[in-house]
Amino acid sequence: MKVFISEYVCGGGWSDPELPPSLEREGLAMLRAVVCDFAQIPDCQVVTTLDHRRPDLDINSVSVIRVSSPLEEQRVFLELALDSDVCLVIAPELGNVLHQRCLAARDAGVAHVLNPDSETIHLCSDKLRLAQFLQSKGVPTIETSRLGHDCSLSAGDGPVVVKPRFGAGSQDVHTFPNLKAAMELRSWQPCEEINEIIVQPFVSGTAVSVGVICQPHTNTWEILPTGTQSLSTDGTFAYEGGRIPWAGTPQSAVRQTVDSVCSKMSGLAGYLGFDLIMPHDEPQQPVIVEINPRLTTSYLGYRRLTHVNLASRMLDGAAVTEPIHWNPGHVEFTPAGAVVCSTGSSTGFELQSEVVQ
């Protein structure tokens, strides 16, 4: 079986000469981890692309195709995808890139794209539409509006968080004391871009995340242990790593929320990452912040907390009959891929995932 893994930022697809440092380090860390895991699956041949300026992966048995420009990467992307049995796309939601890449692969006739279907990717990538979808299904989420005249918040309401409607990696996220201050963006943002900026009330709480591994043909998904996120405190919420598992108590509520959302979506495949917040004023009620319809940095921690090859669980036909066994203790990881494992039961409870059908 030939598997093509495409990471957009470090793989050569990024159009700007300079790569955003946060996206570059997280993209490279995810790429190294997932190609290594797929390469360990028996009879699995792994190929990927890499920007000619990036350092070597240095992973045995992984074929790396160097590309010198985004235009060359687009051509090689389709060639390798069509020549492979499985294609896994890792790309940011910025500018709806993830949706466009997966759609291009499917439109070209790629047999098996290991990502959710196009509708689900587009839904999750669009933070405004996702919030509206979750609200319509009765799932707790943060009130979300366009930054403009149709905003549901009042001028004095605050603090508020402003972010791109299609964004990733905390890029261009800012916190303002109130909506009036946020609206001053109109003085330096082009009018057409204002329509692609959203505003949300700031919710104080504990940031947590949950990974989900999905198999489309069996309509099953595995909800992985809840972890905590470390975010910067400067109002930009820059991602600084995480720890798995979370030692908080309302984990069943988190799992029920994630399970409920998965059951309401179609075409799930590969890996999903849920970002939630446990509000300080209502800590038993998880609130969904966003859903990443792709591999996320939390994969770096999960893969070190079990002896099970998580990449193999993403493949159709994988024998998923027993829940994943998780090692006792916890892992801490950085966006650049550094992982520290702590053995022993420091959490006071047994780690579990579950297979949901």
Q: Is it the case that residue 238 has pLDDT exceeding 80?
A: yes
pLDDT band at 349 (very low <50, low <70, confident <90, very high): very low
* Count of other CB atoms within 10 angstroms of residue 62: 19
Structure tokens at 234: 């400067």
- Quote the mean pLDDT of the chain: 89
User: How far from chain centre, in Å, is Cα 165?
Assistant: 15
Residue 136 domain flag: no
Q: Which amino acid is at 42?
A: P
Which residue segment(s) compose the domain that 246 sits in? 205-356
Residues 6+ apart with CB under 8 A from 138: none
CATH number at residue 110: 3.40.50.11770
Span 278-295, pLDDT tens digits: 999 998 999 999 999 999
Residue 330 domain flag: yes
Same domain, 84 and 54: yes
CATH number at residue 187: 3.30.1490
Span 185-225, pLDDT tens digits: 766 566 556 568 899 999 999 999 999 999 877 778 999 99
Same domain, 214 and 351: yes
CATH number at residue 254: 3.30.470.20
